[in-house]
Amino acid sequence: MIQIHDKQFVPFISEEELDRIVSEMADRINRDYYGKRPVIIGILNGSFMFLSDLMKKLEIDVELSFLKFSSYHGIQSTGTVKQLIGLADELDDRHVLVLEDIVDTGNTLEKILSVLESHDLQSLKIGTLLVKPEVFQNKYDLDYVGTEIPDKFVVGYGLDYDELGRNLKQIYQLAEQGGIND
């Protein structure tokens, strides 16, 4: 068990399991984009560790760009998604793969897709390391899903609790058992 700020967290997904999940996703992306040069758009801040590990496993030519959104305060989603960093790259007539660290309600994903709809993309796919199917409310298909998790707050491997815990090598789940959804 670890403590971050005022909350305790228990181990949830090991470093070894994360490596397996990322390797399987990289294999699929390598197959699907063989002969193409996609632009991968990582969603900051949470996706940086996942993307770093994924990029090392990709054998295709890729370009990398980032968007930054914020929707959390503490362990609760605010319900409002703010764009903090935008795209600098030209995406028209490109294959685009958006990669998230975690998708829960889908509000951030909806905002990301609204930013991309002004571009004439050749293709658009969406991937996420983690998804919470119990609360995912969107009409968008997720093309690449690392693993499904229950509707519990998680931290580590890029995911944070009030900006702490991103540097943890594995993912931890909130130890409390009730009343808290993110």
Exactly one of 92, 104, 151, 182 is catalytic; name it.
Answer: 104
104 is catalytic: yes
Strand partners, 72: 77
Cβ–Cβ under 8 Å, residues 57 and 86: no
Phi, psi of 21 (to 5 degrees): -60, -45
Strand partners, 156: 159
> Alpha-carbon distance 57 to 99, whole Å?
15
Cβ–Cβ under 8 Å, residues 85 and 68: yes
Give me the active site residues, please: 104
